[in-house]
Amino acid sequence: KAGVTQTPRYLIKTRGQQVTLSCSPISGHRSVSWYQQTPGQGLQFLFEYFSETQRNKGNFPGRFSGRQFSNSRSEMNVSTLELGDSALYLCASSHLTRGSGANVLTFGAGSRLTVL
Amino acid sequence: EDKVVQSPLSLVVHEGDTVTLNCSYEVTNFRSLLWYKQEKKAPTFLFMLTSSGIEKKSGRLSSILDKKELFSILNITATQTGDSAIYLCAVEAPGSSNTGKLIFGQGTTLQVKP
């Protein structure tokens, strides 16, 4: 059974550019969450999608956006990149829609973004 | 403000030692606390704790929750070099129970030397 797949694994951008990251959840998982991980802040929640709808949102500026497709694959986009956006972006999926255990997440290996 | 604090932030031990990692939390309407292990990139799930005083155990790892004192500990006995990793503690965000929205601590980086 394939795990959570994130692409690209590494990318380098310059300030002002935009970036799109992709996440394919485990087959059958309908919930996809995104997290930003930096050395100073740890893992911070960006947003969660379920059945193509944003179910939860973290405290990030509007430059961070996402979407989910009918096959549960998800993308996140960051526009007008800033140096502080350099981070590991982790995607996670869950097999339960709601109820106990729905927050037990399976994470992908992440996309390492460097902004120069 | 809801928050999760882990201590220590880093720890170096030798193989065979026993370690205790701490996680304290302040969150309204607490429902569950989770532990993850992050070795290279992808955090992997270890335990979920919802009830106070009930120990969860998996091999050399165990964890317990104290809901009165608002903390959890993760114990690793007879440590091995393969236990070297970042250990992450997280709680459900208030108002988002049983969803993918978690509040994470900063993690404890454990290094086990041969």
A110: chain B residues, CB-CB within 8 Å:
41-42
Given the structure tokens 């394919």, which residue do they identify? A24
pLDDT tens, B45-97? Answer: 999 998 777 889 999 999 999 988 899 999 999 999 999 999 999 998 777 66
Q: Does pLDDT of A98 surpass 70?
A: no
If we measure between CA atoms, which residue out of A56, A62, A76 comes closest to residue A6?
Answer: A76
Residue B70's region, left for phi above 0, alpha for psi from -120 to 50, else beta, is: left
Tell whether A30 lies on the interface with B, counting CB pairs under 8 A.
Answer: no
Tell whether B32 lies on the interface with A, counting CB pairs under 8 A.
Answer: yes
Instruction: Indicate yes or no: CB of A56 within 8 angstroms of CB of B99.
Output: yes
B102: chain A residues, CB-CB within 8 Å:
43, 45, 103, 105
pLDDT of residue A100: 57
Q: Does pLDDT of A21 surpass 80?
A: yes
Alpha-carbon gap, residue B46 to B62, rounded angstroms? 9
Looking at residue B114, its amino acid is P
**For residue A79, how far is the Cα from the chain centroid?**
14
Instruction: Indicate yes or no: CB of A44 within 8 angstroms of CB of B104.
Output: yes
State the nearest Cα–Cα gap between B2 and chain A, in angstroms. Answer: 13
Name A38's bridge partners: A42
pLDDT of residue B25: 95
Between vectors from CA A31 to CA A28 and to CA A37, what angle results, nearest 5°? 125
Chosen for mutation from A43, A47, A48 (greatest number of chain B CBs closer than 10 Å) is: A43
Query: What integer is the mean pLDDT of A27-34?
Result: 91
Tell whether B93 lies on the interface with A, counting CB pairs under 8 A.
Answer: yes
pLDDT of residue A95: 76
Q: Does pLDDT of B98 surpass 80?
A: no
Instruction: Indicate yes or no: CB of A90 within 8 angstroms of CB of B42.
Output: yes
- Average pLDDT of the residues of chain A: 91
Tell whether A31 lies on the interface with B, counting CB pairs under 8 A.
Answer: yes
pLDDT of residue A2: 78
Alpha-carbon gap, residue A86 to A71, rounded angstroms? 29
pLDDT tens, B14-37? Answer: 999 999 999 999 988 888 899 999
Name B23's bridge partners: B6, B72
pLDDT tens, A69-96? Answer: 999 999 999 999 999 999 999 999 987 6
Nearest CA in chain B to A56: B101
What's the farthest any 2 CA atoms get from each other in chain B? 44
pLDDT of residue A41: 84
pLDDT of residue A65: 97
**Share of chain A residues as helix, strand and coil, in percent rounded to the nearest 5:** 5, 50, 45
